[in-house]
Amino acid sequence: MKHNVTFVTGLWNIGRDDLEAFKRPFDNYLICFDLLLGLDINLVVYVPDELKEFVEQRRSLDNTKIIIRNNQDFKTWFNFYDKVNQLRTDPNWYNQAGWLAESPQAKLELYAPIQLSKMFMVNDASIFDPFGTEYFFWIDAGLANTVGVTDLANLNRITGYMQDKQGKMLFLSYPYESNTEIHGFERTKLAEYCDTDFVRYVPRGGFWGGPKSIINFINSYYWQYLNQAFESGYLGVDESFFCILCHRHSEITHRFEISGNGLVYPFFQQLVNYDEVTARPAPVVINKPLDQVKTALYILTYNSPEQLEALLFSFKITDKDFLTKPQLILVNNSTNLSTTEEYQRLCDQYNIEHIKKDNIGVCGGRQFVAEHFSTSDYDYYIFFEDDMFLFPPADLHCGEQKPVYTDRLYNKSLEIIHQGQYDYLKLSYSEFFGTNRKQWAWCNINDSLAEKYYPGMDRSIRNQSTAPDTLCTTTKFHQGLQYYEGEFHYCNWPLWFTKSGNYKLFLENPLQHPFEQTWMAMSFAMIKVGKINPACLALSPINHHRFAHYSAKERKEC
């Protein structure tokens, strides 16, 4: 059975055997780690070289991904290593509480860097996603010290629990109202970061997680809070910063409350009440002749049959195949119901399937299209909004010197995506706000991805002018039409999608609040790890023209 969750863990010997007040033998950690490795779960394991064999002897590679990260790697991989070690050795910090000076946090140079890196390790695991799951959780290697193996075995039921939480991030929190600091983070200052008068609970760091899309989103905020606190001279552990996340982002976080002793086993015990949920299977790659594939063309419209009629007319004079070869499907978001009759007339005239929605928004409509297509027998689909016309035949070029017209655009573009088996094919090189020469995802990816893939670039100002060039790997031609393979981000402009590409971007980890910018960032991350394979035409056939305007207050994303 394929479970729809991946667990992430790691273990390093950082010298806790040598402490006096907080001594813990490393062998005790190995005993607990051994119990964790014995569970039948999908597991991403970060370990140093010396523990690789320990893991391999206890795990099947079918549900295990081992990532080597040696102790010394944290000195360069963890961006805040120097700052954290400067703070932990500062008497002004470790003298704020009697216990702190002898704590692992103060005495061991890798204690805080490893603890504070958990979020980044989970985020990375969710990006390369070795098992194709929706949920990702961190689980401490030593958690079996306080949670019995029988209770841990309930982890395969956790997706049933998470489905009740509507896509939120899970933390296990306990009451905490004493002391002048919280794990080394000065209490009144932490309350300011939390935007509250007083911090009354602390989330545990040994087990937490949630949907992949939320992890990618919240990871960027986590990085920002670390950076702000360290620059201001405040140091805590992961639980301190989880406190900030839960307070400031309560709309996307869920707290399971445990008792004041901080033990988390009650959460695992109550999971027995939930059914196991398996991952939705990914669609198979299309393996049929082109003349046997079925296609759909979706159009999103709002309060203007005139816009729709003008779009259909542009298909008629430019390439009639857009009208006759796919099944046309109208997603009607209109709030002005007096337009319904005229919409229906056009649908009858052009044999369009008419789906009426109640203004679910631009991106809400886009998500609906993805879900509708996934349950259909269509092999490919192309998506249009009602103001994205085709240029008529003309010997013209866009600002990037790409032609605006080619004959047989429908057939040629479908043949390109079918032969190349791309996840998606962008129809237009130039778009309203810019062109695909620039990597627009730069404006939307989080800081950790920006630093990882564009080290040294100034991240303080991110816009079209500062964006790096899109990496174009290959230039190809099909029947005289030029196109590119490379790192072409997703956007809501017309593009072809395969079943596989549609699943990866919209369905494998669906967003609770879909936005074009988030899909753009997600596509970039998946392209970088080889999970999505896109292409883009060296053509600009889309003439963006909205003549039936409406108030900006009416526009909804989702």
More confident residue, 421 or 446: 421
Give the DSSP letter string of 496-528.
Answer: EEEHHHHIIIIISS--SS--HHHHHHHHHHHHH
What is the C-alpha to C-alpha distance for residues 55 and 538, in angstroms, rounded to an integer? 48
The pLDDT confidence band at residue 1, using thresholds 50, 70 and 90, is very low
In the structure, what pLDDT confidence band is assigned to residue 212 with cuts at 50, 70 and 90?
Answer: confident
- At 213 the pLDDT is 79
Is residue 553 predicted with pLDDT exceeding 70?
A: no
* Model pLDDT for residues 7-23, shown as the tens digit of each residue: 999 999 999 988 888 88
d(CA 510, CA 364): 11
Residue 46's φ and ψ, nearest 5 degrees, are -95, 120
314-350 pLDDT, tens per residue? 999 999 999 999 999 999 999 999 999 999 999 999 9
Q: Average pLDDT of 135-157? A: 93
pLDDT at 269: 93
Is it the case that residue 125 has pLDDT exceeding 90?
Answer: yes
Q: What is the pLDDT of residues 259-274, one digit of tens each?
A: 999 999 999 999 988 8
Same fold, 5-273 and 290-554: yes
The Cα-based distances of 168 to 55, 159, 188, 253, 558 in angstroms read 31, 12, 27, 5, 17
Residues 475, 482: Cα–Cα separation, whole Å? 7
**Reported confidence tier of residue 78, pLDDT bands at 50, 70, 90:** very high
At 557 the pLDDT is: 61
Over residues 356-387, the pLDDT tens digits come to: 988 888 898 999 999 999 989 999 999 999 99
Q: Beta strands 481-486 and 534-537: pairing type? A: antiparallel
The runs of H, that is alpha helices, within 304-446 are 305-318, 321-324, 340-350, 362-374, 409-420
Helix (H) or strand (E) segment spanning residue 8: strand 5-10
- The token pair at 431 is 């778009």
- The separation between the first and the last C-alpha atoms of the chain, rounded to the nearest angstrom, is 34
In this predicted structure, what is the pLDDT of residue 166?
Answer: 67
Task: Calculate the dihedral angle through the C-alpha atoms of 38, 41, 44, 48, rounding to the nearest 10 degrees.
Answer: 0
Q: Which residues is 208 bridged to in the sheet?
A: 138, 171
Domain extents for the chain? 5-273, 290-554
Look-up of token digits 């629990």? 161
Q: From 557, 515, 493, 550, select the one nearest 335 (Cα to Cα).
A: 550
Distance CA 140, CA 206 (A): 5
Q: Measured over all CA atoms, what is the biggest interatomic distance in the chain, rounded to whole angstroms?
A: 83
Q: Does the reported pTM lie above 0.85?
A: no
**Residues in contact with 409: Cβ distance below 8 Å, sequence separation at least 6, in sequence order:** 318, 319, 322, 390, 427, 481, 539, 541
Closest of 79, 64, 74 to residue 6, by C-alpha: 64
238-263 pLDDT, tens digit per residue, is 999 999 999 999 888 999 999 999 99
DSSP string for 136-202? EEEE-TTGGGTS-HHHHGGGGGHHHHHHTTTTPEEEEEEE---SSEETTEEHHHHHHHHTSSS--EE
Q: Using the predicted structure, report yes or no on whether residue 417 has a pLDDT greater than 60.
A: yes
Residue 408 confidence (pLDDT):
96
pLDDT at position 282: 60
Note the pLDDT tens digit of each residue in 31-71: 999 999 999 999 999 999 999 999 999 998 889 999 999 99
How is residue 534 written in tokens?
A: 């896109």
pLDDT in tens, 469-526: 999 999 999 999 999 999 999 999 999 999 999 999 998 877 767 888 889 988 998 8
Rounded to an integer, what is the distance from CA 73 to the centroid of its chain? Answer: 25
* Lowest model confidence (mean pLDDT) among 76-85, 317-326, 437-446: 437-446
CA angle centred on 556, ends 216 and 345, rounded to 5°: 125
Q: What confidence tens digit (pLDDT) does each residue in 290-314 have?
A: 889 999 999 999 999 999 999 999 9
pLDDT of residue 461: 80
Output the pLDDT for position 278.
Answer: 63
* Reported CATH class of domain 5-273: alpha beta
C-beta separation of 305 from 342 below 8 A? yes
Which H/E stretch holds residue 483?
strand 481-486
Chosen CATH of 290-554 out of 3.40.640.10, 3.30.565.10, 1.10.1200.10, 3.90.550.10: 3.90.550.10
Proportion of the chain above pLDDT 90, given as a percent: 71
